[in-house]
């Protein structure tokens, strides 16, 4: 049997909220660190965009997919790069997906910063959960390290 992949599809309210945040971010108003992620579609090659939160830990930047293996995650895996936008400022990056073992500390930092926004997607896991619980959740929460194209 094929392994089940975790994906929590946004409801109508979440889609409206994401569109609203994306509009504000494109206009140059970052909402609690938001960026508009753009990645080429893995099949169509067309640019796809979604608002995301960029996590910074020890000077490194990460994208955490709280909803699981979303379309932007699948596209980023295929493309390996994308752009982040706030207003007219656009930054190109390369992405490297992390192994599950590297995720617990990053998931904790992510939940510490945005738990109020994304906590419902983590099935009772929060910033105070034991490392073993965060490690158990790791396969369902893709995390990418972002680096500049020159790096």
Any domain includes 14: no
Any domain includes 38: yes
CA dist list (Å): 126 to 51, 54, 70, 107, 112? 22, 18, 21, 9, 8
What's phi and psi for 84, nearest 5 deg? Answer: -120, 135
pLDDT for 97: 97
Domain that holds residue 60: 29-147
pLDDT for 26: 85
Interval 140-149: pLDDT, tens: 999 999 999 8
The sign of the dihedral angle between the CA atoms of 75, 54, 97, 4 is negative
Strand, helix or coil at 71? helix
Q: Could you tell me the pTM of the whole model?
A: 0.89
CATH of the domain at 73: 2.30.110.10
Interval 73-125: pLDDT, tens: 999 999 999 999 999 999 999 999 999 999 999 999 999 999 888 878 888 89
What contacts 118, CB < 8 A, 6 or more positions away?
66, 110, 111
Interval 24-35: pLDDT, tens: 888 888 878 889
Any domain includes 95: yes
Number of domains the chain is built from? 1
Any domain includes 48: yes
Structure tokens at 34: 């938001």
pLDDT for 151: 58
Q: Name the nearest CA neighbour of 121 among 4, 9, 3.
A: 9
Any domain includes 106: yes
Any domain includes 20: no
Any domain includes 18: no
pLDDT band, very low/low/confident/very high, at 17 (cuts 50, 70, 90): confident
Any domain includes 5: no
């Amino acid at each position: 049997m094929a392994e089940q992949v975790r994906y929590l599809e946004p409801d109508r309210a979440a889609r409206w909220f994401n569109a609203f945040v994306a509009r504000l971010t494109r206009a140059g108003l970052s909402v609690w660190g938001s960026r508009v992620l753009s990645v080429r579609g893995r099949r169509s090659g067309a640019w796809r965009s979604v608002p995301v939160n960029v996590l910074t830990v020890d000077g490194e930047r990460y994208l955490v997919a709280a909803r699981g293996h979303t379309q932007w995650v699948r596209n980023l895996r295929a493309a390996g790069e994308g752009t982040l936008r706030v207003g007219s400022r656009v930054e190109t990056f390369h992405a490297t997906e992390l192994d599950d073992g590297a995720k617990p500390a990053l998931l904790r930092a992510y939940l510490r910063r945005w738990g109020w926004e994304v906590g419902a997607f983590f099935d009772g896991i929060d910033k105070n959960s034991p490392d073993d619980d965060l490690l158990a959740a790791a396969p369902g929460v893709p995390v990418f390290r972002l680096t500049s194209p020159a790096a």
